[in-house]
Amino acid sequence: MPTALDNKLVPKTLAIINKVGRNMDFTLPLASSYDPSTGTGEKSICKTYTVKASPPIDFEQRYVNGDSVRRGDVRIILAASGLPFTPVPDMKIEFDSIKFSTIAVLPIYSGELVAAYDLQARK
């Protein structure tokens, strides 16, 4: 059940992303119909969504460790409200002709509900 904080922060997060965000294309892999034993079916079925998100932001240097966070990795924030998909690792992102892949997805809760997703993406 949504909390009072959810009722305030979820729509506020969406309003901020709609105001300052930029359109990005998110391509998600969907269930494959490929059967490796017969070699039939489609290997990859994808669906692309265009939604507003924060412009990519470089990770602060103190978080770059060369392993889980590499130099050049960026953070992208998506409002969860009304999002037509749930972000997942290995999702493809295109912004201003720059292509990224999602490395990690961190849901940000405002209480009971997810208000936003913090994505780690890599070129």
Asked if residue 94 is part of any domain, the answer here is: yes
CB contact at 8 A, 28 and 49: yes
Q: What is the CATH number of the domain that holds 59?
A: 2.40.10.270
32-60 mean pLDDT: 82
The number of beta carbons lying within 10 Å of the beta carbon of residue 123 is: 11
**pLDDT value for 38:** 75
73-86 mean pLDDT: 96
**pLDDT value for 42:** 66
Asked if residue 55 is part of any domain, the answer here is: yes
Distance in angstroms (rounded) separating the CA atoms of residues 33 and 31: 7
Query: How many domains, in total, are found in the chain?
Result: 1
Q: Given CA atoms 57, 99, 22, 68 in this order, what sign does their dihedral have?
A: negative
The residues near 36 (Cβ < 8 Å, ≥ 6 apart) are none
**pLDDT value for 34:** 64
Kindly report the length of the chain: 123
Asked if residue 116 is part of any domain, the answer here is: yes
Asked if residue 37 is part of any domain, the answer here is: no
